[in-house]
Amino acid sequence: MTAAPRVEVHAGPEELARSVAGELLRVLADAQSAGRRPHVVLTGGSIADAIHRELARLSPGSGVDWTAVDLWWGDERFVARDSADRNAVQARTAFLDAVGVPAERVHEVAATEDVDDVEAAAAAYAAELDAHGPEEFDVLMLGVGPDSHIASLFPGRPELDVRDRSSVPVTGSPKPPPERVSLTYPALARSRATWLLVSGEAKAEAVARALSPEHTSVAETPASGVSGREETVWFLDRAAASRL
């Protein structure tokens, strides 16, 4: 059984981003010191972008060898490879290029020019995970939406129930763009540490619902359905924590 979630509340998004980036660099340095090549699942969104920029700023002198870190994605938008909507483009702009992560260590989801449709993109990503994914991720980072969605697992959607594969296509997403690829709950569960990163008052109700002992079902509150094997940490700013 995993331990109860830990909640860290920071003054604002800047402090939250700085704390998460520093903690991630510590985890990566420790893993590499132990002779392991760490695997991390990245997320997108405004707070992730702030964390990524802090990673670029703090990496020099951290002891982390970014050429020996594998990066994955909790979800991705099925759009053109150079689209600003892609989480991978956001991360590359913010820190991947700056810290020198080799292309072969960045496991991207197929874009529209790579495969025929979103179903093929999801199948290809599942195959990539099967071929090159770890037994467990060192850190899984997830944003949480105002509706409590994580990755591209939205309330009331059939993707929440998929258990026979590691990634799933999403069509008709309630949040644009409409086509996406998302890790499933079984894949998300393959993590030592699961970190949920939440900033802003608009998400305070979703945070409170997910962390409540009387929370509604996972179908209504997807963020309540994830936990790390060793730790689950909610990194919040004061606004996101305001209803706890």
Return the amino acid letter for 44: G
Burial classification of residue 156, based on how many CB atoms lie within 10 Å of its CB (0-12 exposed, 13-18 middle, 19 or more buried): exposed
The rounded radius of gyration (Å) of the Cα atoms in the chain is 17
pLDDT at 215: 66
Domain residue spans of the chain: 7-237
- Sheet harboring 180-183: ordered strands across? 75-77, 180-183, 167-170
To 5 degrees, how large is the angle CA 8–CA 240–CA 184? Answer: 80
Residue 170, beta-bridge partner list: 180
pLDDT at 4: 87
pLDDT at 214: 78
Per-residue pLDDT of the chain (244 residues; tens, 9 = 90+): 466 899 999 999 999 999 999 999 999 999 999 999 999 999 999 999 999 999 999 999 999 999 999 999 999 999 999 999 999 999 999 999 999 999 999 999 999 999 999 999 999 999 999 999 999 999 999 999 999 999 999 999 999 999 999 999 999 999 999 999 999 999 999 999 999 999 999 999 999 999 998 766 899 999 999 999 999 999 999 999 999 9
**DSSP state, 153?**
B
Return the amino acid letter for 181: V
| Domain 7-237, second-level architecture | 3-Layer(aba) Sandwich (3.40)
Contacts with 210 (C-beta within 8 Å, 6 or more apart), sequence order:
144, 148, 221, 223, 224
Please name the residue that has the structure tokens 């890790």.
183
Return the C-alpha torsion angle 212, 217, 222, 223, nearest 10: 20
Residue 134, beta-bridge partner list: none
